[in-house]
Structure 1
């Protein structure tokens, strides 16, 4: 199989680099300065084992590859706000022997949140969810680090519509030979909904900084409480805290020090957008659908989007000011 990593940022490059290191055929899809840096100097990926330079094929879109191969696996790792453009571009690509990628090839959604699987299922016949536990950093073109140990990350896999098949077991075996644990589960979206709750804090990190603070922890607790309330109202199942701890503990220990999450990194790179609409915004949407107030998540989504849109530096807001905005919104709810 050939793995086409659509979005070779922190997550995509970490997975692609590790797969390549284990001998698998990998193509990276990137753009701008990041693509140029990888083409010129290779992908510099640092893991707990040290730094390696991976000289891999890099493209900006499917036209540069020509017809896709029947054994290609598409791994979607762009941020969710960029998923529609990527799915449309790659879904229409022709596959050798007839048909399009959307008709014939599998796509794995390795992203935070739960929306990409829905978007993919509208377009692709074979869609798989990936619940990603892979702390990694991408701040400089061509340079990515994923420093957890003893494993680089944990990637729960399954069919987005539920269940498993032979292909997902083959992919999991490739990932397990590449430094990951890759449990194949019947209910991958249950794991992704559970992961979403933790990602509600991404907007707090992005706006107030990644350094720990009791007030940040308290605000996250409030955001998660809203998330749990809307899940209950909507009848959405999620993996329990105990299940998640059992799956991770002792397997993916982060390196010492403070690390900014994906939304913080997006602001630091000045990308102009963050995932807040598909993280906190998912909770807000479910709250509106099921009559559950979500003032904290509404506030976090709004604040993170202002930071991205106006190019504000990450961490430029005090947690006291952010909390005051959430309190004000709660008073209006």
Structure 2
């Protein structure tokens, strides 16, 4: 099986590099400065066991590959806000023997949130979800890092919307050989919604910096409690913290990496790179959407969605808002709802 990594950033770059290191055939898809860096210097992967340079085929779209192979697997690792453009580009791509990628090839959505795979199912016949537990960093073109040890990450896999099959089990086998744990589960959404609750803090981190200290942790708990109330009202199941800890144990322990400090998660990294967009609409915004559908107020997540988008659009410095200011705005938002 050949893996085409659509979006060779933090998650895509690490997964692609690890798969290549495990002996799999990998093609990277990137754009702009990242495409140029990967093309000219290869993918530099920094992990606890060293720094590896993988010189892999790099394209900026399906035209760079021509006709796709019948044994190709597409790994969609772009941010959710970039999903539709990727689907539009890769769905119609021809496959050897006839048909298109959308009709014939497996598409794995290795993304935060839950919306990307739903978007994919409108055009792709064989969609698989991935619950990504992979602390990874991408702030410099051509360089990605992952500090997890002894495993690089845990990637729960399953068909979308439910079930398993032989294809996903073969993919899991390749990931297991590449320093990941890859449980194949029929109820993947339970893990993804639990991860969504964890990712609600991404906007806090992007706006105010690392979530450290009692005040920051208390605020994040308020945000997640709002999310939990929404999921409960919607009747959406999610794994408990106890079940998550039992699965993870100490399998992915962060190890300091030389020349690769981890300053923040995916939203923080988007602001640092100045991309102009952030995925808050599909994290905090998912909670806001469900809250409106089920009659649950979500003032904190709506505020974070707005602030994160404003920071991205205006290219504000990541972490530049004092936590005290964020808490003040949040208190005002909650008070306005209560009136």
TM-score range, shorter chain: over 0.9
Alignment pair present for 1:280 and 2:280: no
Q: Structure 2 CA distance, aligned partners of 1:255 and 1:111?
A: 23
* Structure 1 counterpart SS, 2:297: coil
Point out 4+ residue stretches in structure 1 off by more than 6 angstroms. Answer: none
Counterpart for residue 294 of structure 1:
298
Counterpart for residue 325 of structure 2:
321
Q: 2:274 aligns with which of 260, 266, 270?
A: 270
State the TM-score, normalizing by the size of structure 2. 0.97
After superposition, the CA RMSD in angstroms is: 0.9
Within-5 A mapping of 1:221-260: 221-256=221-256, 259-260=263-264
State the TM-score, normalizing by the size of structure 1. 0.99
CA displacement 1:122-175 (0-9 Å, x = unmatched): 110000000001001101000010111000000000001111000000000000
Counterpart for residue 29 of structure 2:
29
Structure 1: where are the runs of 5+ without partners? none
Q: Structure 2 CA distance, aligned partners of 1:259 and 1:172?
A: 30
Q: Structure 2 CA distance, aligned partners of 1:211 and 1:126?
A: 38
CA displacement 1:169-191 (0-9 Å, x = unmatched): 00000000000000000111110
TM-fit CA distance, 1:213: 2.5
Question: In the alignment, is the contact (CA less than 8 A) between 1:154 and 1:182 conserved in 2?
Answer: yes
Q: Structure 2 CA distance, aligned partners of 1:147 and 1:126?
A: 32
Q: Structure 2 CA distance, aligned partners of 1:205 and 1:211?
A: 6
Structure 2: where are the runs of 5+ without partners? none
Q: Structure 1 CA distance, aligned partners of 2:242 and 2:58?
A: 40
Q: Structure 2 CA distance, aligned partners of 1:254 and 1:273?
A: 27
Question: In the alignment, is the contact (CA less than 8 A) between 1:109 and 1:116 conserved in 2?
Answer: yes
Within-5 A mapping of 1:7-22: 7-22=7-22
CA displacement 1:300-321 (0-9 Å, x = unmatched): 1111000000000101101111
Q: Structure 2 CA distance, aligned partners of 1:15 and 1:246?
A: 23
Q: Structure 1 CA distance, aligned partners of 2:218 and 2:263?
A: 19
TM-fit CA distance, 1:259: 3.2
Question: In the alignment, is the contact (CA less than 8 A) between 2:137 and 2:262 conserved in 1?
Answer: no
Q: Structure 2 CA distance, aligned partners of 1:30 and 1:213?
A: 37
Decide whether aligned partners of structure 1 residues 182 and 332 sit closer, same or farther in structure 2, where only a CA change above 3 A counts.
Answer: same
Question: In the alignment, is the contact (CA less than 8 A) between 1:295 and 1:326 conserved in 2?
Answer: yes
TM-fit CA distance, 1:211: 5.0
Q: Structure 1 CA distance, aligned partners of 2:297 and 2:218?
A: 18
TM-fit CA distance, 1:258: 5.6
Counterpart for residue 123 of structure 2:
123
Question: In the alignment, is the contact (CA less than 8 A) between 1:28 and 1:57 conserved in 2?
Answer: yes
Give aligned pairs, total.
Answer: 333
Q: Structure 1 CA distance, aligned partners of 2:40 and 2:262?
A: 30
Within-5 A mapping of 1:193-232: 193-210=193-210, 212-232=212-232
Counterpart for residue 172 of structure 1:
172
TM-fit CA distance, 1:248: 1.0
TM-fit CA distance, 1:235: 0.6
